[in-house]
């Protein structure tokens, strides 16, 4: 039988170490769907750094992606926001679902998040997409979504209501966001080439499940015009809210632009 050595005395140090005000200077909260494969990965790649932390909460979601199912997430938003560093302030919170944002409404989402995190700047992907398009000063756009026609209709209404002239709108007919995440970036480049209207000045690619942020440079090269995608725009918006205006053209032309006041 092995004999255990006596345990050492444990000494409590009286000298206290120096504490920083925060572990990291800036904090971005991300509310993702339980089924999401893409948003967290994109935010780690584009937003997180030694200065900026990305803190994620996931909320329940059940496919198929229909307006009715998307709307069911609204009651979970406050609880999801409350789980991100409880009782500590954040510099931005992004609700990472484009289609649900247009169904629920930006104002309703902001109110739900503010119930848990008062005063924090709230970002939704369609809001960030609109800000990204405005950064280019464009109004005539093409839109590509992976959704069904039924789920795409609120997206068309959202951008039209904000003054954009939709030259063309194309959707791919997917109902499951987990399948949307499997669409290859190379396929998105080819789709951009196919759906871009000759009179449109920019392309918006909707859906946080899509790996579209990886495809932005290829899409912009293919169509010769700016491309704004859900995760790319949301990450850009959150980073600018954290005071980081560093141009990063590897993420697309948008990442050379400031966030307008």
Task: Find the CATH number of the domain harbouring 150.
Answer: 3.40.50.12500
Q: List helix spans (H) across the chain.
A: 39-46, 67-71, 77-82, 98-104, 106-114, 125-135, 149-161, 177-180, 185-195, 212-223, 230-241
Residue 68 lies in a domain: yes
Per-residue pLDDT of the chain (261 residues; tens, 9 = 90+): 778 889 999 999 999 999 999 999 999 999 999 999 999 999 999 999 999 999 999 999 999 999 999 999 999 999 999 999 999 999 999 999 999 999 999 999 999 999 999 999 999 999 999 999 999 999 999 999 999 999 999 999 999 999 999 999 999 999 999 999 999 999 999 999 999 999 999 999 999 999 999 999 999 999 999 999 999 999 999 999 999 999 999 999 999 999 986
Asked whether 130 and 117 are in contact (CB, 8 A), the reply is: no
> Looking at the domain assignment, is residue 5 inside a domain?
no
Q: How do beta strands 165-171 and 26-33 pair?
A: unpaired
Q: Is residue 19 part of a domain?
A: no
**Same-domain status, 136 and 119:** no
Same domain, 118 and 240: yes
Domain count, the chain: 2
Q: Flag whether 63 is in a domain.
A: yes
CA distance 133 to 135: 5
Number of other CB atoms surrounding residue 235 within 10 Å? 32
80 in the same domain as 198: no
> Domain containing 215: what range?
127-229
Q: What is the pTM of this model?
A: 0.94
Answer whether 57's CB lies under 8 Å from 85's CB: no
Helix (H) / strand (E) containing 87: none
Query: Do 223 and 241 fall within a single domain?
Result: no
In a domain, 180, yes or no: yes
What is the H or E stretch that residue 55 is in?
Answer: strand 52-59
């Amino acid at each position: 039988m092995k004999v255990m050595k006596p345990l050492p005395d444990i000494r409590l140090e009286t000298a206290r170490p120096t504490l920083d005000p925060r572990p990291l200077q800036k904090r971005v909260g991300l509310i993702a769907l339980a089924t999401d494969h893409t948003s967290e990965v994109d935010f780690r790649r584009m937003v997180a750094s030694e200065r900026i932390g990305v803190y994620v909460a996931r909320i329940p979601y059940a496919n198929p992606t229909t307006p009715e199912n998307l709307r069911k997430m609204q009651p979970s938003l406050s609880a999801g926001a409350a789980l991100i560093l409880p009782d500590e302030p954040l510099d931005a919170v992004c609700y990472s679902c484009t289609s649900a944002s247009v169904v629920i409404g930006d104002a309703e989402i902001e109110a739900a998040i503010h119930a848990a995190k008062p005063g924090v700047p709230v970002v939704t992907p369609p809001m960030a997409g609109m800000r990204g398009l405005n950064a280019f000063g464009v109004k005539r756009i093409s839109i590509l979504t992976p959704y069904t026609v039924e789920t795409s209709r609120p997206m068309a209404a959202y951008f039209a209501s904000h003054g954009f002239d939709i030259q063309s709108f194309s959707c791919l007919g997917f109902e499951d966001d987990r399948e949307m995440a499997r669409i290859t970036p190379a396929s998105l480049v080819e789709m951009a080439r196919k759906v871009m209207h000759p009179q449109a000045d920019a392309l918006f690619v909707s859906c946080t499940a899509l790996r579209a942020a990886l495809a932005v440079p290829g899409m912009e090269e293919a169509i010769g015009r700016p491309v704004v995608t859900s995760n790319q725009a949301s990450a850009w918006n959150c980073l600018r809210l954290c005071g980081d205006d560093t141009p990063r053209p590897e993420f697309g032309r948008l990442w050379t632009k400031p966030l307008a006041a």
